[in-house]
């Protein structure tokens, strides 16, 4: 990381950012074409979980290349400067990571993944009816690596 002074190395802090983030952006690639999409997600400390419809562009990209990059951010605040346009910036915390996406196929796996998504947003797990599980595809991103970064609020100069 170029700015070592902004690097977050403590796993507890990285986990905290993932737990607090509202949106996860997943980046896919096939041949020479990138694709980034925001998704709702869950996190269990080892993997990310997301769901998709039964068909779509994300699925085409995953079928071609299941390696993904993900990004989340939290506590983003614009930092304007009253005198200098070049002194504007943002305060933020972010996590960027890499992994492989794989589809969860058994009802138990799919239910687990969806429970992680609901736990992330609702603070608790829900039970899912078999008919609901059958209407959605659920995915796990096994995290291979991730890094955290923080830019603190600046004081006005």
Distance CA 23, CA 1 (A): 23
Q: Minimum mean pLDDT among 4-8, 47-51, 82-86: which range?
A: 4-8
Count CB atoms within 10 A of the CB of residue 135. Answer: 11
Output the domain CATH number for residue 29.
2.30.110.10
Is 138 contained in some domain? yes
pTM score above 0.85: yes
- pLDDT level of residue 85 (50, 70, 90 thresholds): confident
User: Could you tell me the CA-to-CA distances from 101 to 9, 39, 80, 127, 138 in Å, in that order?
Assistant: 24, 13, 38, 24, 10
Q: Mean of the per-residue pLDDT values for the chain?
A: 89
Is 155 contained in some domain? no
pLDDT at 6: 67
The radius of gyration of the chain's CA atoms, rounded to the nearest angstrom, is: 18
Closest listed residue to residue 67, CA positions, set 32, 97, 109: 97
Is 55 contained in some domain? yes
Structural domains of the chain, count: 1
């Amino acid at each position: 990381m170029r700015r070592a002074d902004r690097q977050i190395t403590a796993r507890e802090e990285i986990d905290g950012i993932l737990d607090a983030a509202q949106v996860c952006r997943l980046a896919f690639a096939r041949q020479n074409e990138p694709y980034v999409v925001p998704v709702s997600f869950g996190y269990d400390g080892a993997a990310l979980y997301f769901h998709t419809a039964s068909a779509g562009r994300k699925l085409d990209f995953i079928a071609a290349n299941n390696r993904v990059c993900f990004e989340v951010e939290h506590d983003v605040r614009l930092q304007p400067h009253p005198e200098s346009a070049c002194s504007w910036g943002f305060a933020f915390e972010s996590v960027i990571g890499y992994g492989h996406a794989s589809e969860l196929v058994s009802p138990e796996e799919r239910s687990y993944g969806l429970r992680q998504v609901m736990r992330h947003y609702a603070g608790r797990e829900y039970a899912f009816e078999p008919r609901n599980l059958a209407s959605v595809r659920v995915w796990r991103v096994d995290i291979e690596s991730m890094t955290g970064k923080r830019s603190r609020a600046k004081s006005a100069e």
